[in-house]
Structure 1
Amino acid sequence: MIVLHSSPSSPFGRKVLLAASVLGLDAILLVEPTDTNEPDDRFLKQNPLGKIPVLITEDGQAIFDSRVILEYLDHRAGGGRIIPVDAGRFDVLRMQAMADGMADAALLMVYEKRFRPEDMRYEPWLKRQQEKVDRTLAVLEAAPPRLGSTLDAGAIALACSLGYLDLRFEGAWRTTHPRLVAWLDDFSARLPAFERTKP
């Protein structure tokens, strides 16, 4: 078994779970819930950054972050399945970076409100993160990515980022992005694990 340190609400941990499902590796993946607010010493030795997700291989190797974990899972499943080896590789990696960046900005907004006292919150910082999310949504609404015969790492990352916006921001993005809503509905219908991993 390989062990995944994660949290149900993490869009990056969910990304790993969906990738494992697409690749047929979910049966050998054991999820270990991990609280990064109170990490234990063993976890910090596995990832000194104290961030999730972290994948622990059978021989004890710690692999992080989610993009590296997806590379590892794809390699383990034979390669070229969710991350192409041809010229399409960079389109997939670019989409994954864009989706992950949107999730990062959303996480920073959540953390600003969760961990900083209200009178110390910096509104220009929150506005800057919201603008990153808004710009990314606008680009993707104008041209939603095509879902290929196999769901790739870019599509998986985007679905998880949109799912995180649903979780933490009450799906406010849906009212102004109908093409992305349809895209996510199509993704969800094609990969039942998306609904199963909903936090």
Structure 2
Amino acid sequence: MKLFYSDASPYARCVRIFIQYYKVTEIDEVVVDPFANEEVFLRSNPLGKVPCLSLNDGSSLYDSEVIMRFVDAKYGDAELFGEQYDDWTNQCHFSLLKGMLDSAVALRQEQLRAEEGLRSDFWTARFEQALLRGLKQVEQLGLVNYQKLTAQQVILVCLLDYLDFRHPQLLWRNLVPALEIWHKKIAIKPIFTMTSPH
């Protein structure tokens, strides 16, 4: 199996952390530029997005959550997601975090549009406010209080690191000090440092 990814993608990083966590050796990680339109990559994912997991039978899985759930089910008996099929609250918490990651990436796209003179102040403010409201909600929900690592915590680390990487002007630590304390402790673990964005 091959995982197509880019170093800067927080979505791909979530998947790579799952792979590291379960010490999966049968998935080769292949760096790809999703904007280069390489034929082998586009055959695996016609959307041209990372991450994409090419399976041994020639089929592919894409969207980070699908791949995360696949790795979790195949190699960890759903340890990180847990038995969430009837737990709508936990599934909603994951969607909250994934939506926040979407807002962080969209905010980055607005920054890039500024170079073309097309940046929207309205959408920039909307994405920033969604992130700040979301972080306050996450802190109130206590998602960092679980003793064992969860899928929600994985995506939260990736989100906070991505904010530091792409949006250092967003002073999230001032807003959610409990998240800062938790992040400082967990982000130094090898499964996170090995996949840090750069």
Deviations 1:28-61 (A, max 9, x none): 3321111122221221121111111001122222
Shift of 1:4: 1.0
Compared with structure 1, are the counterparts of its residues 113 and 146 closer, same or farther at alpha carbon in structure 2 (3 Å cutoff)? closer
CA distance in structure 2 between the partners assigned to 1:78 and 1:164 by the alignment: 26
The structural deviation recorded for 1:132 is: 0.9
2:30 matched residue in structure 1: 32
2:92 and 2:186 mapped to 1: Cα distance? 19
Secondary structure at the residue paired with 2:117? helix
Q: 1:3 touches 1:57 (CA, 8 Å); kept in 2? A: yes
- Residue aligning to 1:134: 132
Unmatched segments (≥5 aa) in structure 2: none
Contact 2:7 2:13 in 1 (8 A): yes
The within-5 A match list for 1:1-199 is 2-25=1-24, 27-85=25-83, 89-170=87-168, 172-189=171-188, 191-199=189-197
CA RMSD in angstroms comes to 2.1
Change over 3 Å in CA distance of 1:176–1:149 after alignment to 2: closer
Deviation at 1:152, TM superposition (A): 1.7
| Structure 2 counterpart of 1:180, one-letter code | L
Is the Cα–Cα contact under 8 Å of residues 4 and 53 in structure 1 kept in the other structure?
A: yes
Offset of residue 78 of structure 1? 4.7
Deviation of residue 147 (structure 1)? 4.5
Paired with 1:86 and 1:121, the residues of 2 have a C-alpha distance of: 39
Check whether the contact 1:96–1:154 (CA below 8 A) recurs between aligned residues: yes
Greater displacement, 111-120 / 9-18: 111-120
Query: What are the ranges of 5 or more consecutive residues in structure 1 without an aligned counterpart?
Result: none
The one-letter amino acid of 1:36's match is P
Aligned length: 196
TM-score normalized with structure 1 length:
0.88
For 2:112 and 2:81, locate their aligned partners in 1 and report how far apart those are by CA, in whole Å: 35
Seq. identity, %: 28
Checking the alignment, whether the CA contact within 8 Å between 1:92 and 1:153 is kept in structure 2 is no
Deviation for aligned residue 1:142:
2.7
Shift of 1:122: 1.4
Instruction: Give me the TM-score of the superposition, normalised by structure 2.
Output: 0.89
